[in-house]
Structure 1
Amino acid sequence: MTGFARVDGRSPGWTWTWEARSVNGKGLEARYRLPNGFERLEPKARDLAKARFARGNVNATLNLRRESEASGAQIDMARLRSLLDQAAPLLESGQVARPRLDGLLALPGMIDSEQVGISDDMAALDTALLTSLGEALDALVSARREEGAALSAVLTGHVEDITRLIGEAASHSATRTDAIKDRLSAKFAELLPEGLDEDRLATEAAVLAVKMDVREELDRLQAHIVSARDLLAQGSPVGRKLDFLSQEFNREANTLCSKSSDSSLTAIGLSLKNTVDQFREQIQNVE
């Protein structure tokens, strides 16, 4: 199930933004993009996701900024001088262009971040960041619920279509034993003008009726309908159960088509299979 949430936060000397997204997934996978030095938050961040979600790929990004007035960042002058000294022969010979200061300061380790915030209460910052992440994940849950409410209506519509098609199949003349006997009698009349013994006709009709009997499949489909409605009424997380149920729907629809010897009944079975496929496709979005 998809969703997006954004939460801004502030703590003495710091500002940040959490952005959380989720997309469909069979299981739960939480991934975090954290600034260097804050990887320590990931274990607790994963626990926050597990407490709220059962399925889906959840991605959260932390954009953390130190407020300018609180910044105590220092340039590593020794490293800068060393680089310039080493580059001097290349600069004098014209082999390289003279570097810009902003380019030099962007090099790893040029800003002495180890000295920044040593006196800060990092434990308090971590707590504030995780609290803010929890708020972002809660907002993501709300966004997913809104989508889920719309998706529930779509799934309910598919279940109603499946119910209608099952009813059409159950009332079809091709599923009645007397209709099977009449068709068989007409076919034998074409092939055997002298007719067929009534007892023999009854026997053949009974054998054919057993092969073409789809009442068990229709009964199981009706039972699956009840289960589907119960699961939709429960709410999440039921995605895996609905996915399994859609496979059972498909299996019974396949059997219905394979047993049918009537083109119109087969057409109903194919429509049923198509609706079940649509149902199963939407279920992939359900937690």
Structure 2
Amino acid sequence: MTGYASIQLQPDDPAGKDSGVRLGLELRSVNSRFLDLSLRLADELRTHEAMVRSMVGSALQRGKVEVRAFVDLGEQGALQLPASSALQRLASLQAGVRAWLPEAAALSVADALRLGGQVSAPRQDWAAPLQQALAQALDALKQARASEGERLAAMLQDRVQQLRALARRAEPMVPELVRQQRERFLQRWEQAMQLGASSATPEAVQERALAEATAYAMRIDVAEEITRLDSHLDEIARLLTRGGEIGKRLDFLIQELHREANTLGSKSASMELTRISVDMKVLIEQMREQVQNIE
């Protein structure tokens, strides 16, 4: 599920002063069937990559998640003029090099700042601040994903109700289709008896017609499919109400719903029943697309 969280933390200063250093952390999550983790860590934080992966993997099971962590040095990271002794040393070295290599380029200001001992990040153990910031960000991200999950659950519950309504429409169609087909069989057998001589008695003809109608009824009977479909819908509604990590179970139930809708369509003996099967498949496909985003 989608979500975003941003945390900024000021690490504790041993002297109790505001050092101006800030640790920033951002989490972004978009839909994905599996957990796909991408890390963008500042150089000072790269040694803690394993910890970050472990914490995110323990908190989240699905989603394409991007973790971005950076260090803001504040005033300590501002450009400062190198010491005069360092600049004198650089000038002396440059003169020595150009004495042997007259075509060598002169040092730029950027070179002087970089080589003259530019202030870098203070040496600090970032493990505890990073762990604290990541825990806070994960909590905020899960809250954002929970809000998204409530919206998805409401949509899925609505599709469940629509599927139930379609199943109720399909139920009374089969007995009527069987009755109509039984009448057609009887009419055909009567016409056959009238068109040609036959040694069969009318009772035998009628019994044969009824047997054919019964076999036809068994072929088009969708009562079992509708019963199983209702059972799957009940389980989906129960899981959505219960909550928790239900994504993989919902995946399986959606596959089962699709199988029952396919079977109902293959047994269809009328255009109306075919349309119901198609409508069911459309709703089930909508559910399948969203279920892949649920943990």
Give the TM-score of the pair, scaled to structure 2. 0.80
> Superposition pairs for residues 84-233 of structure 1, below 5 Å?
85=97, 89-91=103-105, 100-102=108-110, 104=111, 110=115, 116-118=121-123, 122-123=124-125, 125-173=126-174, 177-185=178-186, 188=188, 192=192, 194=194, 197-233=205-241
| Alpha-carbon spacing, 1:99–1:74, altered in 2? closer, same or farther (3 Å) | closer
The unaligned stretches of length 5 or more in structure 1 are: 92-97
Separation in structure 1 between the aligned mates of residue 112 and residue 46 of structure 2, nearest angstrom: 24
Structure with the greater alpha carbon radius of gyration: 2
Higher deviation after alignment, 258-267 or 167-176: 167-176
C-alpha distance after superposition, 1:71-94 (max 9, x if no partner): 798968778986894785154xxx
| Alpha-carbon spacing, 1:269–1:30, altered in 2? closer, same or farther (3 Å) | same
Correspondence for 1:21 among 28, 42, 51: 28
Q: What residue is the counterpart of 2:52 in the other structure? A: 45
- The alpha carbon displacement at 1:179 in A equals 3.9
Separation in structure 1 between the aligned mates of residue 31 and residue 102 of structure 2, nearest angstrom: 55
Separation in structure 1 between the aligned mates of residue 48 and residue 81 of structure 2, nearest angstrom: 25
| Alpha-carbon spacing, 1:37–1:205, altered in 2? closer, same or farther (3 Å) | same
> How many residues end up aligned between the 2 structures?
273
Letter in 2 for 1:134: A
- The alpha carbon displacement at 1:6 in A equals 0.8
CA RMSD of aligned residues (A): 3.2
Q: What residue is the counterpart of 1:260 in the other structure? A: 268
Separation in structure 2 between the aligned mates of residue 83 and residue 217 of structure 1, nearest angstrom: 86
Give the TM-score of the pair, scaled to structure 1. 0.82
| Alpha-carbon spacing, 1:72–1:216, altered in 2? closer, same or farther (3 Å) | same
Instruction: Note if contact 1:32-1:59 (Cα within 8 Å) is conserved in structure 2.
Output: yes
Matched, 1:54 2:61: yes
Separation in structure 1 between the aligned mates of residue 234 and residue 91 of structure 2, nearest angstrom: 73
Higher deviation after alignment, 143-152 or 7-16: 7-16
| Alpha-carbon spacing, 1:240–1:191, altered in 2? closer, same or farther (3 Å) | farther
Separation in structure 1 between the aligned mates of residue 104 and residue 66 of structure 2, nearest angstrom: 45
| Alpha-carbon spacing, 1:126–1:205, altered in 2? closer, same or farther (3 Å) | same
- The alpha carbon displacement at 1:192 in A equals 4.0
| Alpha-carbon spacing, 1:157–1:83, altered in 2? closer, same or farther (3 Å) | farther
- The alpha carbon displacement at 1:274 in A equals 0.8
C-alpha distance after superposition, 1:91-123 (max 9, x if no partner): 4xxxxxx77523x379xx7585897524xxx33
C-alpha distance after superposition, 1:209-262 (max 9, x if no partner): 121111111111111111111111121311111111111111111111111121
Separation in structure 1 between the aligned mates of residue 223 and residue 90 of structure 2, nearest angstrom: 83
Higher deviation after alignment, 267-276 or 13-22: 13-22
- The alpha carbon displacement at 1:47 in A equals 2.3
Give me the identity figure in percent.
Answer: 28
